[in-house]
Amino acid sequence: MHARLAELGDSLVVVGVDTPTGREWNVHVHVSDIGAAIEAGIEAGRPYRVSVEPLAPQPVPAPVAGTRALVAVVSSDGLAELFGEAGVRVVTCGPDGVTEDDVLDEILASAAHEVAVLPNDAALLPVAARAAARARELGREVGVVPTRSPVQGLAACAVGDPGRRFGDDVIAMAEAAAATRWAEVTVAEQEALTSAGRCAPGDVLGSAEGDVVVIGQEPADVACDLLDRLLSAGGEMATLLVGPDEALGDAVCAHLSARHPTIEVVRYGGGPAAIPLQVGVE
């Protein structure tokens, strides 16, 4: 992070402090691009007590409607509709995926000065970061919220507040995303050695945070096992993003009601066909 901030500004001071919970770092830097500095902090860890002050006394402008936007990358028309209903601009991945030009075009099309980008896929984080950097060169204030799944993106949207300072809002969304453990049920396309053992084509895979933890034959059985594992570590709310198989969503909801009756369940449809179920636990 030190090298990154040194590229962005000057008067950089980084001081390590030992605390009962570990080592913390106090950082001070003068920059013209606030969004890039905050993004560097998010990439390095979990920033808190962030303070942004102008170098010369200036009145703090009141938030103006339309000056801030959210842009999310999604993988299906159903997700595009879901995020769109939340007031989020979307970039839908086509057969060839999505490029930084696609993301940049949507940032600029928003006509907003402050834009937060939700990539919703770990593989798209670099794409979003490059698009954000190019948008900043054009005078936009852009921050990338490191969402690795659509369920993390939904959690981030839920806490977004245009009444906050932009930097504080990006950090709040990043914290909400990080606090959401994500998992998904997929079907193996080829034989492979996973962290849960060897799988064959057609096997149902349950993955948590990108690692396969369950291999089975029936999607509902794998999904219920996966949720039991996630909730064994605690949680108050489960968000379900169901693909075309609504019966799978019904089975999972019934299981949660019977085995975890205190868990609040939020269910959405419109998930991509390639991922029958995506889960977020908070």
- Which of 151, 178, 205 terminates a domain? The answer is 178
Q: What pLDDT shows up at residue 23?
A: 66
Residue 50 domain flag: no
Q: What pLDDT shows up at residue 59?
A: 45
Residue 157 domain flag: yes
Residues 218-229 have pLDDT tens digits of: 999 999 999 999
Residues 1-20 have pLDDT tens digits of: 567 766 766 666 665 655 66
Residues 121-167 have pLDDT tens digits of: 999 999 999 999 999 999 999 999 999 999 999 999 999 999 999 99
Its pTM surpasses 0.95: no
Q: Are residues 144 and 192 in the same domain?
A: no
Tally of domains in the chain:
3
Residue 52 domain flag: no
**113: containing domain:** 68-178
Average confidence score pLDDT of the chain: 88
Residues 173-206 have pLDDT tens digits of: 999 999 999 999 999 999 999 999 999 999 999 9
Q: Are residues 139 and 106 in the same domain?
A: yes
Q: What pLDDT shows up at residue 64?
A: 42
What secondary structure, in 3-state letters, does the chain show?
A: CHHHHHHHEEEEEEEEEEECCEEEEEEEEEECCHHHHHHHHHHHCCCCCCCCCCCCCCCCCCCCCCCEEEEEEECCHHHHHHHHHCCCEEEECECCECCHHHHHHHHHHCCCCEEEEECCCHHHHHHHHHHHHHHHHCCCEEEECCCCCHHHHHHHHHHCCCCCCHHHHHHHHHHHHHCCEEEEEEECCCCEEECCEEECCCCEEEEECCEEEEEECCHHHHHHHHHHHHHCCCCCEEEEEECCCHHHHHHHHHHHHHHCCCCEEEEECCCCCCCCEEEEEC
Q: Are residues 172 and 192 in the same domain?
A: no
Q: Are residues 173 and 186 in the same domain?
A: no
Q: What pLDDT shows up at residue 73?
A: 97
Residues 6-63 have pLDDT tens digits of: 676 666 666 565 566 666 766 767 776 666 777 777 777 767 666 666 555 444 444 3
Residue 59 domain flag: no
